[in-house]
Amino acid sequence: MVNPFKKKYSATELKQFAFLEKARFFRDLSYEELSRFLPAIHQRKYARDEVVFFRNDPSQALYILEKGEVTLNIDIRGTFETIIKLKEGNPFGENSMLADSKRIYTAIVSTEEAILWVIPNYAILDIFQNNQKIRAKMMTALAAFYNQTNQQLFSSYRNSYGFFNLGQMFE
Q: What one-letter code names the amino acid at 71?
A: T
Please check the confidence at residue 19 and state whether its pLDDT lies above 70: yes
Buried b or exposed e, range 121-138, using 16+ CB within 10 angstroms: bebbbebbeebeebbebb
pLDDT band at 147 (very low <50, low <70, confident <90, very high): confident
- Please answer whether residues 141 and 27 qualify as being in contact, where contact means their C-beta atoms are separated by less than 8 angstroms: yes
Domains in the chain, CATH or no CATH each: 11-157 (2.60.120.10)
Which candidate, 33, 31, 41, places its Cα nearest to that of 91? 41
Round the average pLDDT of the chain to a whole number and report it.
Answer: 89
Q: Report angle CA 77, 95, 162 to the nearest 5 degrees.
A: 45
- Please answer whether residues 141 and 84 qualify as being in contact, where contact means their C-beta atoms are separated by less than 8 angstroms: no
Q: Which residue has the higher pLDDT, 90 or 79?
A: 90
| Chain segment 24-80, per-residue pLDDT in tens | 999 999 999 999 999 999 999 999 999 999 999 999 999 999 999 999 999 888 888
